Chains A and B, each alone.
Chain A
Amino acid sequence: MSAMSKFTREELIVDGVKTVVHSAGTGEPLVLFHGAGTLDGFDFAETWARRFRVIVPYHPGFGESGDDPSFTDIHDYVMHYLELFDILKIDTLRLMGLSMGGYLAARFASEHGHRVEKLVLIAPYGLDVPEYPALDIIATPGEQVVPMLVSNFDALKPRLPEKPDIDFIAARYREATTFARLFWEHPIDPKFPRYLHRVKMPALIVWGDEDKIIPVEHAQAWRKWIPNAEVMIVKGAGHIVHRDKPEVADAIRKFLA
């Protein structure tokens, strides 16, 4: 992937699962958990490589990593990352997650808070806010979800095939399959917020005010459970905040410093 040119690709076996990790830069580790679709790429993370050792792993069942059908719960991913961090010799880290990756990051931080120095959640998935329901992405056809990911569709278009592409569709289907294993029956874990108060490190919640996947009102719901968290609302941005407003990367870097 040319957009990842500054990144070094590494293929690891983590507890039997092929795990592809892209990393760039030196310094304290900054780990980025991607969301439920990897079509967007990670080039925006390059900007942090000047200051941090940026590590972007593909979750099992997504992107370049292998499948493990036995992963049926978000907690399987928490365990996966404990293993991966051992292999990468990461003790403490800054942790950032987008959407489903935000849910995973918050999980990790609530269970292993002493290892997470700072936490950034970008439009995280995982809370039930009945007045402002998240889009049911399982039930929404993929071709409808994709344009909803951003406020300005032109920002995302270069990432998409020009014509219907069976390999692209199959790649999304595979990621949807992984997502379904985790969330088909129980999209929300009602016990999740109960443990969120254990997130005591500095935390930043970033949300686009034009998010069509998880409404921006969720930001306040998260803040209710993580009272220390700062909330940054980005005007004119959709769900993939940084794709609509790349300048958000600078604001995040300041928080992480």
Chain B
Amino acid sequence: MSTGFRFNAMHFMPYVYLPENHKEYKTTWVDFPNKFYDPVKGHELYQSYFEQLVLADRLGFDAIVLNEHHNTVYGMMATPNVVAAALIPQVQRARICVWGVPPNFMLPNRLAEEYAILDVMSKGRLEIAFPLGTGMEYWSNPVNPATAREKFRESLKIMLQAWTADGPTKHFGKFYTYRFLNPWPRPYQKPHPPCYIVGAGSPETIEFAAELGFGYSSVFVPQQVALQLNQKLRERAAHYGHTLRPDQLPLLNFVYVAESDEQAEREYIIHLQHFFEDFARSSPQWLAPPGYLSTEQLKIRAAGADKMHGGFDFKAISSAFFIAVGTPEKVANQIGEWTARMSTNHINSVIHVADMPHWKAVKNMTLFAEEVIPRLRRG
């Protein structure tokens, strides 16, 4: 990969038709009734979301990014590999990032196989991130959160073995037994597609990424924390003999570009507010099922959550997180500043949030691709 900037278009594919009375529900995750899902509307949403991601490819984004969540309006990609498979023939140039399937919810050989299929189908354009999965996913899947981290490690070991060692091999572990680990096909890219770990910064996960020499992307952590995590990861990776390249530290951010700062804010903030207040509306219980966090981490996060209370404040939230809204010049400057501070060149931008209409997503991506990317590439 070149040392120049790399730009991703990330999409959550939300189900946007929340019922009128949705505020009566404490959260829109886990137990938010699925009677509110209308498949006819779901079909229309997939049509426009696919169109947006195909457009991202044509506009020159380097990659498109998908992810997985369950039991929620937040995203309609409970099985993102299915979505990736549908996109591959339409997305002809950009890399396809499945960031990603929590391995704990799949048999490891099967996940290794699915990713290998996508990699072969796309002629080596797949990139993978391994999330532990949010707390919400553990309420939604029959997997014990109290042993999740241990299982996660074993799953990754099996997948890497499946990809890199000539089969058949064996694996006798705590969670899985393989007498003939010998998956067909094998990945197109050697030794395997680029791998990252995504997370909210648990020390255990950082350590694991460092050990494997994988990239790491923190999600939904404040800027200061993200910076510390990147530094920590570099240090720990060096300890294991790995030197991380800038592109291994994707920077998750939210962008919206328009003709003026004022217009951008007018067009965007309502959707961003809807995203934080309603689509990301979880609960302390959902976020931390028993054993998902160490008690130390629970205390740290509970203290952090207290600070987040209060209404949506765009100024506060856009300076706490990586959110750039405005003219191409403003957004480009903002991203330039972040990348310098974070020592990365990998920009992972969420280009659609909440109930943003199709035209805004198209406008946002088009202005970003035509006005922001060239500014940053020129330097």
Q: Which residues of chain A have a CB within 8 Å of any CB of chain B? A: 69, 72, 138-139, 141-142, 166, 169-171, 173-174, 176-181, 184-185
Asked if B269 is at the interface (CB within 8 A of a chain A CB), the reply is no
Query: Does the CB pair A180–B302 fall under 8 Å?
Result: no
- Known contacts A141-B285, A185-B144: does B290 contact A180 (CB below 8 Å)? yes
B130-148: CB near A (< 8 Å → 1, else 0) gives 0000000001001111110
Query: Does the CB pair B299–A170 fall under 8 Å?
Result: yes
| Minimum C-beta distance from A21 to chain B (A) | 23
Q: Cβ of B144: which chain A residues have Cβ within 8 Å of it? A: 180-181, 184-185
Asked if B291 is at the interface (CB within 8 A of a chain A CB), the reply is yes
How far, in whole Å, are A69 and B291 apart by their CA atoms in the complex?
A: 10
19 A-B pairs whose Cβ atoms sit less than 8 Å apart in the complex: A72-B147, A138-B290, A139-B139, A166-B299, A169-B298, A171-B295, A173-B288, A173-B293, A173-B295, A173-B298, A174-B295, A177-B146, A179-B290, A180-B144, A180-B145, A180-B146, A181-B146, A181-B147, A181-B291
Q: Secondary structure of the A side of the interface?
A: helix
Query: Does the CB pair A177–B299 fall under 8 Å?
Result: no
Q: Cβ of A176: which chain B residues have Cβ within 8 Å of it? A: 290-291
**Which 5 A-B residue pairs are closest in the complex by CB-CB distance?**
A176-B290, A180-B290, A177-B291, A184-B144, A180-B146
Asked if B194 is at the interface (CB within 8 A of a chain A CB), the reply is no
Q: Cβ of B295: which chain A residues have Cβ within 8 Å of it? A: 170-171, 173-174, 177
Q: Cβ of B1: which chain A residues have Cβ within 8 Å of it? A: none
Asked if B185 is at the interface (CB within 8 A of a chain A CB), the reply is no
How far, in whole Å, are A212 and B147 apart by their CA atoms in the complex?
A: 29
Asked if B60 is at the interface (CB within 8 A of a chain A CB), the reply is no
Contact of B146 among A139, A141, A170, A184 (CB under 8 A): A184
Contact of B290 among A69, A169, A177 (CB under 8 A): A177
Query: Does the CB pair B298–A180 fall under 8 Å?
Result: no
How far, in whole Å, are A171 and B299 apart by their CA atoms in the complex?
A: 10
Contact of A173 among B143, B283, B290, B303 (CB under 8 A): B290
Q: Cβ of A178: which chain B residues have Cβ within 8 Å of it? A: 146
Q: A177-B295, A184-B146 are in contact. List 17 more A-B contacts (CB 8 A).
A: A72-B147, A141-B283, A141-B285, A166-B299, A169-B302, A170-B295, A170-B299, A173-B288, A173-B295, A174-B295, A176-B290, A176-B291, A180-B144, A180-B146, A180-B289, A181-B146, A185-B144
| Minimum C-beta distance from B138 to chain A (A) | 9
B333-372: CB near A (< 8 Å → 1, else 0) gives 0000000000000000000000000000000000000000
How far, in whole Å, are A171 and B302 apart by their CA atoms in the complex?
A: 13
Q: Cβ of A171: which chain B residues have Cβ within 8 Å of it? A: 295
How far, in whole Å, are A92 and B130 apart by their CA atoms in the complex?
A: 52
- The residues in B between 95 and 150 inclusive whose CB is less than 8 angstroms from any CB of A are 139, 142-147
- Which residue on chain B has the smallest CB distance to residue A142? B285
- Which residue on chain B has the smallest CB distance to residue A141? B285
| Minimum C-beta distance from A108 to chain B (A) | 23
Q: Cβ of B139: which chain A residues have Cβ within 8 Å of it? A: 139
| Minimum C-beta distance from B367 to chain A (A) | 44
Q: Cβ of B288: which chain A residues have Cβ within 8 Å of it? A: 173
Q: Cβ of B147: which chain A residues have Cβ within 8 Å of it? A: 69, 72, 181
- Which residue on chain A has the smallest CB distance to residue B144? A184
How far, in whole Å, are A169 and B293 apart by their CA atoms in the complex?
A: 13
| Minimum C-beta distance from B292 to chain A (A) | 8
